[in-house]
Amino acid sequence: MAGAVGVGVAVLGLIFFAVVRYRKNGEELPRQVRYNLPIEVLYTVVPFVIIAVLFFYTAVGENKINKLTKKPDVTIGVVGFQWNWQFNYVDAKVQVTGNPAQGQRAQLVLPVHKKIRFVETSPDVIHSFWVPKFLFKRDVVPGRINQFELTVNTEGTYVGRCAELCGEKHDRMNFTVKVVSDAQYADYIAQLKKDPNAAPNKLSAAIPTGSD
């Protein structure tokens, strides 16, 4: 806030300075700079160069972020729905579905130091899978499969949210991500396989079983 006020005061100060200092004085015209070729070339070429450089680094960064490996360690199907999330452990053929009406927030458990592929879709409206601590966000779009990969290198519990206003109960679209050791992850999957509620269901069918 203080920074915005400072910028605003500086801009207004410069505007008032220009109004007072360079106000019209008599009928004498100021020096004209129209059709000044060097200046026109300067304000055409410099912005073009700046935009070209920024575009190059943006393209390189996006390609790196969106690159998919041939064989990720774990594949997670993400289904955003009104009003929570379902996380499908594709390789293990089990899933976890949140039910905020019953106080059940979806929890996604991931192994640490592993390449995780997320395969996302939605059966209703646009949602957005966002874990602030991961510095990554990706929209979950109906009728479309979005994919990305990341590796989490620190064990812990992280808050996840929907970053897209998806309707009346958008505030229920929270979830938890728990990053654990390989042994803890294996135990968790084994427990899920014993839970009849973790069997694939109608929502799970939206996630392809294998996709590159």
Q: What is the pTM of this model?
A: 0.74
Mean pLDDT of 69-89: 93
Among 5-19, 95-109, 156-170, the minimum mean pLDDT is found in 95-109
Q: Is the pLDDT of residue 210 over 70?
A: no
Please give the class, per CATH, of domain 74-206: mainly beta
Please write the tens of the pLDDT for every residue from 118-142: 999 999 999 999 999 999 899 999 9
Please write the tens of the pLDDT for every residue from 172-183: 899 999 999 999
Phi, psi of 202, deg, nearest 5: -60, -40
**Mean pLDDT over all residues of the chain?**
89
**Cis link prior to 83 (omega < 30° from 0)?**
yes
SS3 (DSSP) at 139? strand
Mean pLDDT of 44-64: 95
What single-letter amino acid sits at 75? Answer: T
What single-letter amino acid sits at 153? Answer: N
CA 62 vs. chain centroid, Å, equals: 12
